Chain A
């Protein structure tokens, strides 16, 4: 079975600070996908990023970046120069190749203070 752990529950930052969200996952499969989703106060789930297990290259997309390390089973996510609109719950999720059934972490509530 797949498991995703997001240890931090609520994180408060002042606007323009960086915020890093930790995600640790467990799976016995060698081929899998990792995701980050954002859930703003309005409630919808917004796809942010996806990484497959064969690609550990860390990238930056706008103000988002991620650090994928298979050796530690971690998939951390960073928002650079946070803005008030970044206030939301962020979910890390995992699915194995061959199905799209996501296993979600409990989520990180990010509060950006103006």
Chain B
């Protein structure tokens, strides 16, 4: 158990809809990262938050957004969903924004299926 909690574990929705994925980091971790795992793109970094502020953006679509709340949990919002958004979305956390540790702790993922 990594200590990172993601909900929901599975989600099925239709094209055009909007969903929210939630992540609770390990206790005390200030950084939250979102990754997308799809069959064609593999594992890709989407976005990072550190202590409530956006720190870095990766290959995140404009239809997607995220935020980190004062209690450090994070939400990834996916809107105007398309079939290609079907993927496993991982959240990870770390104690610091970057530096000597270099280790991320991953949640079990939220599997999104868009029909």
A interface list, Cβ under 8 A from B: 33, 35, 37, 42-47, 50, 52, 91, 95, 97-107
Q: Contacts A43-B108, A44-B108 known; A103 to B103 CB distance under 8 Å? A: no
**In the complex, chain B residues 41-87 whose Cβ is within 8 Å of any chain A Cβ:** 42-45, 48, 56, 58
Q: Inside 8 A of B94's CB, which chain A residues have their CB?
A: 100
Q: Inside 8 A of A95's CB, which chain B residues have their CB?
A: 102
User: How far apart are the CA atoms of A95 and B106 in the complex, in Å?
Assistant: 15
Decide: A100 and B104 in contact? CB cutoff 8 A.
yes
Question: Number of B residues contacting the other chain (C-beta, 8 Å)?
Answer: 30
Decide: B42 and A104 in contact? CB cutoff 8 A.
yes
Decide: A99 and B106 in contact? CB cutoff 8 A.
no
Decide: A99 and B108 in contact? CB cutoff 8 A.
no
Instruction: Please give me the residue from chain B that is nearest to A95 by CB atom.
Output: B102
Q: Inside 8 A of A35's CB, which chain B residues have their CB?
A: 102-103
User: How far apart are the CA atoms of A41 and B45 in the complex, in Å?
Assistant: 21
User: How far apart are the CA atoms of A44 and B108 in the complex, in Å?
Assistant: 4
Report if B111 contacts A (CB, 8 A): yes
User: How far apart are the CA atoms of A35 and B92 in the complex, in Å?
Assistant: 15
Question: How does the 8 Å CB contact mask read for B86-115 relative to A, with 1 for contact and 0 for none?
Answer: 001010101011111111111111010000
Q: Contacts A43-B108, A43-B111, A47-B105 known; A102 to B45 CB distance under 8 Å? A: yes
Closest 7 CB pairs of A and B: A33-B102, A99-B98, A104-B43, A45-B106, A44-B108, A98-B98, A101-B45
